Chains A and B, each alone.
Chain A
Amino acid sequence: MKVNLYKYLIFSGLLLFTACSKTPESILSPSIKIQLDKATGSYILLFTAGIKNENDSVVFSNFNGKVKIIDNNKRQIISIPFELPVILPFETGIIKNTVTLSESEANEISKFLNIDLNLLNPESEEGTKFLDDSNVSLEIKGFEKEDIIKFLKKKVN
């Protein structure tokens, strides 16, 4: 069988390149909290999670997408958009997002978390609930990859 050497080398190079950088596939420690906005009387969802860059030399820029919160029946409850300007190597980019909930969304989330919305205290700092990994899914929309040396050189020059 005749093998085109150039194609083989390009393919090997691509494989090597893709093997060199790892794209985050999951989020760390997702947690949510529902608060009652005193001024408007609406419910607010505070979402926090981390995205780890496990690469030693790759910077992710404009890392954006959605985090979907799904119930135990795999039904989507809410989708939370996020954007992280930069995630440096070995670092964990922190997603901190606030979403104003519609009444139906607030009801669904309260059912899912098993909390009574009528008992929410606007002043309370308590009530953060950590979510199970099976109740969260990450949908990456886009990002840019850059070598750390190039990235740092731009900052210094």
Chain B
Amino acid sequence: MEKINDRNIYISIAITTLVLGIFCISISLYSRLVVEPKAEKLISLPETMKQGYILLREPQLFAGYKYWDSEGLAVKNSLRYFDFVIANDGEIKAEERPYLELILNRRRSGSTLGIKTAIFLFIVSSIAFAAFIFEQPKKSA
């Protein structure tokens, strides 16, 4: 039986997890460093709250608005409420800001999850890469 080349497997795993990690971290860092501060600034002022909400209405990749756990129901109800208000040309009141922050926190938790996932993928990639290097001299010996 032909022996499977382990080095090819290790390098494939290392590259795949590295690419996935870069993808996750770039999306999450963009959210953390660009979108979240901008949204926080917009929802802090009554006159830009609607723009802030529209920015938050686009979900973060790891914190979508499709699936709901019991904790996420408050976010779902907030989305329903603010969609209705804006669709009917209403205004978001200053005292409703905590509900916008609830949506912002969901986005933050999504980007945190993305960063942690990327770190995990980088660790897996490093291990696979180390295994690739370790395997090389053993083969040539």
Which residues of A does B touch, CB under 8 Å? Answer: 56-57, 86, 88-91, 148-149, 151-153, 155-156
Contacts and interface: CB of A to CB of B under 8 A. Distances in A.
Given A86-B87, A88-B80, A91-B84, A156 B50 contact: yes
B65 to A, nearest CB: 4
Contacts of A86: 87
Given A88-B83, A148-B83, A155 B89 contact: yes
Name the interface size band of chain B. 10 to 19
6 contacts: A56-B64, A56-B79, A88-B83, A90-B83, A155-B87, A156-B86
Contacts of A88: 80, 83-84, 87
B54 A153 contact: yes
Contact of A90 (B57, B59, B79, B87): B79
B58 interface: yes
The binding surface of chain B is classed by DSSP as helix
B66 interface: yes
A57 B84 CA distance: 13
A34 B110 CA distance: 51
B41 interface: no
A14 to B, nearest CB: 20
B44 interface: no
A148 B57 contact: yes
A91 B54 CA distance: 18
A154 to B, nearest CB: 10
B38 interface: no
B89 A90 contact: no
Contact of A89 (B53, B79, B86): B79
